[in-house]
C-alpha cells in the first residue's frame, strides 16, 4: 500500500462540466494540508467532451498512467448523453472495469447546522456493487411478429464472486466505522449500536438473481471475523421508505449495482444536496474517488457548484490510501464550514461561489 510514503502521485481526471471546477478545489485542499505528506498530480483526459474532440472517451494513455504511475486518482464528473451516441461509452464505467474497482463506497453524513436544523441526522455508508447487475448493458430489442410492436430486454447478471467481494467490503467497513466511532462521545453519535450491515435486495420477486446476492452476502457474515457485526435485510422498496422516515436506523448498507445507484441518490437528498456526497471506487489494487453528482450542465461554468463532494472525495482517497489523520482533518474542516453556515453554495442555501467555499475550507485547515 501507499501508507508509508511521504509523497503520493495522484491522477486527476476532471472530465466534464462542473468536474472541471470541483476537481481543482479538491487539489487546492490537498495542497494546503499541514504535515509532511506531499503530492504530485498528473492531469489525465477522459469524458464526453474529450470524446467529441477526439473520438475517445477513455484514452488508453489515461488507463496506463493510472495503472503504472499513480497511487490513486480523483475523478470529476462525466456527462451522460440522454440518448445513445454511436461509439461512446462512459469512461467511469470503463475505468471501473479496467482497474477492477469492484465496490463503490458512498458515505452519507449530515452535519447539523442552522440551515438544516429540522433535518434528521444521517450517518450511513452505502456499498454499491460496481461491476454487474443491469449495468453489464446486455440489451436487445425485437419486434413481436404477431403485433408488430417492439419488445426490449435487458440481462441482469449477479455472480457469487462479485457479490462475495462486495459483501466483504461491507463487513470490513462496518468494523472500521465501529473503531473510528469509539473516539466520538456517545451522545454525538448518530449510530449508537453494534456495527450493522443491511443487505438490500428484492428476492421476493427476483428469487434467482437477488436470491443469490442475498445468500452470498449473508454467507460472508458467517466468518468468525464478523461475529460482532449484526446483519439484517431490507427489500429495496421498503429500504427507500424507511431510509426517508428513519435514516438513523442504518449503519452500513450493501446493495446490487442498480439499487445502490438509486438509494445513494436518495441518501444524498437526505443529507441536503448531491453537492455534499463523495464516493470511492475501490478494488484490491487501486482506488479512484469521485463526487456522487454528475456534470451538472445546468450550472457548469458559473462558479457556483458545491465543491464539498469533491473535497470529501479527496478525504476518502487519503483514507483508502492509509492516511486517516489527514482525511480526518479534511472532514473536520468541511464540517466546520457547514456548521458555521455563512460560506455555502446555493444548492445548500448559501450565496457563496465554488472558490469562496474552497477558500473557507482551506482556512479551517
What are the distances in angstroms from CA 200 to CA 169, 194, 204, 236, 258?
A: 15, 19, 12, 6, 11
Residue list 322-351, contact with ligand ATP (CB under 6 A)? 345, 347
Q: Which does 298 bind (CB under 5 to 8 A by kind): ligand ATP, Mg ion, none?
A: ligand ATP
Q: Pick the piece of the chain touching Mg ion (CB under 5 A) from 92-100, 153-161, 294-302, 324-332.
A: 294-302
**Residues whose CB is less than 8 angstroms from the CB of residue 172 and which lie 6 or more positions away in sequence, other chains included:** none
Contact map string, positions 78 to 107, toward ligand ATP, x by CB under 6 A: -xx---------------------------
What are the distances in angstroms from CA 352 to CA 53, 170, 184, 269, 348?
A: 33, 36, 31, 20, 10
Q: What is the size of the binding site for Mg ion (CB under 5 A)?
A: 1
| CA nearest neighbour of 300 among 69, 22, 1, 98 | 22
Among 30, 63, 166, 305, binds ligand ATP (CB under 6 A): 305
Determine, following the binding rule CB under 6 A, whether residue 299 of this chain makes contact with ligand ATP: yes
Q: Pick the piece of the chain touching ligand ATP (CB under 6 A) from 77-85, 113-121, 219-227, 325-333.
A: 77-85
Among 296, 321, 338, 344, binds ligand ATP (CB under 6 A): 296
Q: Least separation, in Å, of the C-beta of 357 and ligand ATP?
A: 10
Distance CA 43, CA 62 (A): 9
At residue 36, the 3 state secondary structure works out as coil
Distance CA 196, CA 178 (A): 9
Q: Which does 104 bind (CB under 5 to 8 A by kind): Mg ion, ligand ATP, none?
A: none
Q: Least separation, in Å, of the C-beta of 138 and ligand ATP?
A: 22
Q: Which does 296 bind (CB under 5 to 8 A by kind): Mg ion, ligand ATP, none?
A: ligand ATP
Place of cell 504535515: 35
Among 306, 329, 353, 358, binds ligand ATP (CB under 6 A): 306
The 10 Å CB-count burial string (b at 16+, else e) for 132-154 is bbbbeeeeeeeeeeeeeeeeeee
Q: Which does 103 bind (CB under 5 to 8 A by kind): Mg ion, ligand ATP, none?
A: none
Distance CA 238, CA 19 (A): 33
Among 86, 144, 284, 298, binds ligand ATP (CB under 6 A): 298
Q: Least separation, in Å, of the C-beta of 264 and ligand ATP?
A: 12
Among 200, 274, 327, 344, binds ligand ATP (CB under 6 A): 274
* Pure H helices in the chain: 19-31, 48-54, 60-69, 91-98, 160-181, 209-221, 236-245, 257-271, 308-321, 324-340, 354-364
Determine, following the binding rule CB under 5 A, whether residue 266 of this chain makes contact with Mg ion: no
Neighbours of 49 (CB within 10 A): 18
Distance CA 132, CA 181 (A): 32
The crossing angle, in degrees rounded to 10, of helices 308-321 and 19-31 is: 50
Q: Pick the piece of the chain touching ligand ATP (CB under 6 A) from 60-68, 76-84, 188-196, 321-329.
A: 76-84
Determine, following the binding rule CB under 6 A, whether residue 275 of this chain makes contact with ligand ATP: yes
Between residues 79 and 329, which has the closer beta carbon with respect to ligand ATP?
79
Which residues of this chain interact with ligand ATP, rule CB under 6 A?
A: 18, 77, 79-80, 274-275, 293-299, 305-306, 309, 345, 347
Which residues of this chain interact with Mg ion, rule CB under 5 A?
A: 294
Amino acid at each position: 500500500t501507499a501508507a508509508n510514503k511521504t509523497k503520493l502521485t495522484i491522477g486527476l481526471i476532471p472530465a466534464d462540466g462542473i468536474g472541471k471546477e470541483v476537481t481543482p478545489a479538491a487539489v487546492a485542499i490537498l495542497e494546503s494540508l499541514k504535515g509532511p505528506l506531499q503530492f504530485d498530480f498528473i492531469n489525465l483526459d477522459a469524458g464526453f467532451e474529450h470524446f467529441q474532440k477526439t473520438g475517445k472517451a477513455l484514452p488508453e494513455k489515461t488507463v496506463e498512467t493510472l495503472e503504472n504511475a499513480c497511487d490513486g486518482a480523483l475523478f470529476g464528473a462525466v456527462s451522460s448523453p440522454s440518448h445513445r451516441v454511436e461509439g461512446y461509452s462512459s469512461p467511469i464505467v470503463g475505468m471501473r472495469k479496467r482497474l477492477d474497482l469492484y465496490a463503490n463506497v458512498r458515505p452519507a453524513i449530515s452535519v447539523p447546522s442552522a440551515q438544516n436544523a429540522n433535518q434528521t441526522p444521517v450517518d450511513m455508508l452505502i456499498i454499491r456493487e460496481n461491476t454487474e447487475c443491469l449495468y453489464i448493458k446486455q440489451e436487445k430489442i425485437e419486434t413481436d411478429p404477431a403485433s408488430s410492436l417492439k419488445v426490449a430486454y435487458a440481462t441482469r447478471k449477479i455472480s457469487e464472486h462479485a457479490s462475495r467481494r462486495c459483501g466483504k467490503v461491507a463487513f470490513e467497513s462496518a468494523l472500521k466505522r465501529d473503531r473510528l466511532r469509539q473516539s466520538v462521545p456517545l451522545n454525538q453519535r448518530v449510530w449508537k449500536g453494534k456495527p450493522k450491515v443491511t443487505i438490500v435486495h428484492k428476492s421476493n420477486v427476483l428469487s434467482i438473481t437477488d436470491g443469490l446476492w442475498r445468500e452470498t452476502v449473508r454467507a460472508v457474515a458467517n466468518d468468525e471475523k464478523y461475529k460482532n457485526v449484526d446483519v439484517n435485510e431490507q427489500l429495496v422498496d421498503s429500504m427507500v421508505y424507511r431510509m426517508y422516515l428513519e435514516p438513523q436506523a442504518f449503519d452500513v448498507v450493501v446493495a446490487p449495482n442498480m439499487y445502490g445507484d438509486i438509494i445513494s441518490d436518495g441518501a444524498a437528498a437526505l443529507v441536503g444536496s448531491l453537492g455534499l456526497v463523495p464516493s470511492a471506487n475501490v478494488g484490491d489494487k487501486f482506488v479512484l474517488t469521485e463526487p456522487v453528482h454528475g456534470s451538472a450542465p445546468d450550472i457548469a461554468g458559473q462558479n457556483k457548484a458545491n465543491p464539498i463532494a469533491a473535497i470529501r472525495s479527496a478525504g476518502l482517497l487519503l483514507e483508502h490510501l492509509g492516511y486517516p489523520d489527514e482525511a480526518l482533518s479534511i472532514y473536520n474542516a468541511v464540517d466546520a464550514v457547514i456548521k458555521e453556515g455563512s460560506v455555502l453554495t446555493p444548492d445548500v442555501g448559501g450565496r457563496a461561489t465554488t472558490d469562496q467555499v474552497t477558500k473557507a475550507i482551506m482556512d479551517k485547515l
